[in-house]
């Protein structure tokens, strides 16, 4: 019996040492698993739907190439991080270098993938609606809403939709709808327009911020060259002061609507619509496109000068003239090919 006790004590100590060694190795393995790259595929995106449990999420990770760790290790890590009740639905961008802990932290913090939608300077509402409808992620919740109903939904009843959204790049997440994005763009335009109107050049022949918006939209459609915007604005402002008709093709094209086939004819210039600035004096009823910040600034700060006419050179730039005779000569040179 006395001989047996030392043997039992030795076996117990040995077993304890082995247990400690095994625990140490297990802990080291777990720490390595926790902090090492999980191996997700490059560009992988994990979609967590509302109501998805941890098993479903882990299955989704496995499908995206994540081979690191046993399922039990993932669950133990989630329990250690107190993550299980806090995992959020959404779309998550993964990368090969992300560790299991970093992935779970993303899901806990709701660090979801953000998509981009860009409103382009010069777009009309027709262009904007087509782009929104074709976006593969953004929810199209505009169905059944015409422009008037849309503006009422945005808290702007009676305000024309054309030009009321600021061209910029907006971030959104999966599940967001077009109306929410347009509300942000409309608020951004309200702010930009108010600031521009407040800082406008004194004495402009513009009665309201809406008229500035309309003029800026025409400038936006007339040129894409930054250096020309203020000069074109100057031409239009001088014409307004003199009571001359603006005679700008983009307004005629807008007034023709779907009837415009891409070729502006002389008879189109004589076809009267509320937007035909060849047949009607002053500004058209409202904006014809979405002006960017630069076009707004040009309308608010037109360049000084004496020019009253301009014609396209055919390379995106324009030739400016002071008199009608000079303008006719420029038309013959640049439009008719005469020298």
What would the pLDDT profile of 245-260 be if each residue is shown by its tens digit? 999 999 999 999 988 8
Q: Which domains does the chain have, with CATH numbers?
A: 32-109 (3.30.1490), 115-193 (no CATH), 204-334 (no CATH)
Please, which residues bridge with residue 172 across strands?
A: 115
Secondary structure (H, E, C), the chain: CCCHHHHHHHHHHHHHHHHHHHHHHHHHHHHHHHHCCCCCCCCCEEEECCCCCHHHHHHHHHHCCCCCCCHHHHHHHHHHCCCHHHCCCEEEECCCCCCHHHHHHHHHHCCCCCEEEECCCCCCHHHHHHHHHHCCCCECCCCCCCHHHHHHHCCCCCCCCCCCCCCCEEEECCCCEHHHHHHHHHHHHHHHHHHHHHCCCCCCCCCCHHHHHHHHHHHHHHCCCHHHHHHHHHHHHHHHHHCCCCCCHHHHHHHHHHHCCCCCCHHHHHCCCCCCCCCCCCCCCCCCCCCCHHHHHHHHCCCCCCCCEEEECCCCCEEEECCHHHHHHHHHHHCCCCC
pLDDT value at residue 29? 81
Using CA atoms, how far residue 70 sits from 44, 83, 114, 152, 178, in Å, is: 20, 17, 30, 54, 41
Phi, then psi, of 224 in degrees rounded to 5:
-105, 0
Please check whether residue 269 is in contact with residue 339, taking contact to mean a CB–CB distance below 8 angstroms: no
The average pLDDT across 59-65 equals: 93
Greatest pairwise CA separation for the chain in angstroms? 128
Full-model pTM: 0.85
Average pLDDT of the segment spanning 191-204 = 97
Q: Mean pLDDT, to the nearest integer, of 106-123?
A: 96
Residues pairing with 46 in the sheet? 92
Beta pairing class for 309-312 and 115-118: unpaired
Residue 194, pLDDT > 80, answer yes
Q: For 269-305, how does the pLDDT look when each residue is reduced to its tens digit (9 = 90+)?
A: 999 999 999 999 999 999 999 999 999 999 999 999 9
Average pLDDT of the residues of the chain: 91
- Answer with the residue of higher pLDDT: 219 or 12: 219
pLDDT band at 120 (very low <50, low <70, confident <90, very high): very high
Is 154 in contact with 182 (CB distance < 8 Å)?
A: yes
d(CA 247, CA 278): 4
- Judge contact between 187 and 170, C-beta under 8 A: no
Does position 339 have pLDDT exceeding 70, yes or no? no
């Amino acid at each position: 019996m006395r001989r047996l006790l030392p043997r039992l004590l030795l076996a117990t100590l040995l077993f304890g040492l082995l247990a400690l060694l095994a625990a140490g190795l297990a802990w080291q393995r777990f720490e390595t698993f926790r902090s090492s790259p999980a191996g997700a595929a490059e560009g992988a995106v994990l979609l967590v739907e509302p109501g998805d449990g941890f098993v479903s999420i882990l299955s989704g990770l496995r499908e995206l190439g994540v081979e690191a760790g046993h399922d039990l290790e993932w669950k133990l890590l989630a329990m250690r991080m107190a993550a299980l009740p806090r995992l959020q639905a959404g779309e998550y961008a993964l990368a090969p270098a992300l560790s299991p802990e970093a992935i779970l932290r993303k899901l806990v913090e709701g660090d979801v993938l953000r998509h981009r939608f860009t409103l382009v300077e010069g777009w009309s509402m027709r262009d904007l609606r087509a782009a929104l409808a074709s976006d593969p992620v953004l929810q199209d919740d505009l169905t059944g809403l015409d422009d008037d109903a849309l503006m009422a939904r945005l808290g702007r009843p009676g305000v024309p939709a054309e030009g009321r959204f600021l061209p910029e790049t907006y971030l959104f997440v999966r599940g967001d709808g077009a109306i929410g994005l347009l509300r942000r763009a409309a608020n951004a335009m309200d702010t930009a327009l108010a600031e521009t109107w407040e800082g406008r050049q004194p004495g402009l022949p513009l009665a309201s911020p809406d008229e500035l918006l309309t003029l800026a939209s025409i400038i936006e459609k007339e040129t894409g060259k930054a250096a020309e915007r203020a000069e074109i604005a100057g031409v239009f402002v001088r014409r307004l002061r003199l009571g001359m008709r603006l005679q700008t093709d983009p307004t005629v094209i807008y007034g023709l609507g779907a009837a415009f086939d891409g070729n502006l004819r002389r008879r189109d210039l004589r076809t009267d619509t509320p937007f035909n600035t060849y047949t009607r004096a002053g500004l058209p009823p409202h904006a014809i496109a979405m002006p960017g910040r630069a076009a707004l600034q040009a309308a608010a700060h037109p360049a000084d000068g004496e020019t009253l006419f301009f014609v396209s050179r055919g390379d995106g730039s324009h030739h400016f003239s002071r008199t009608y005779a000079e303008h006719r000569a420029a038309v013959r040179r640049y439009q008719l090919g005469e020298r």
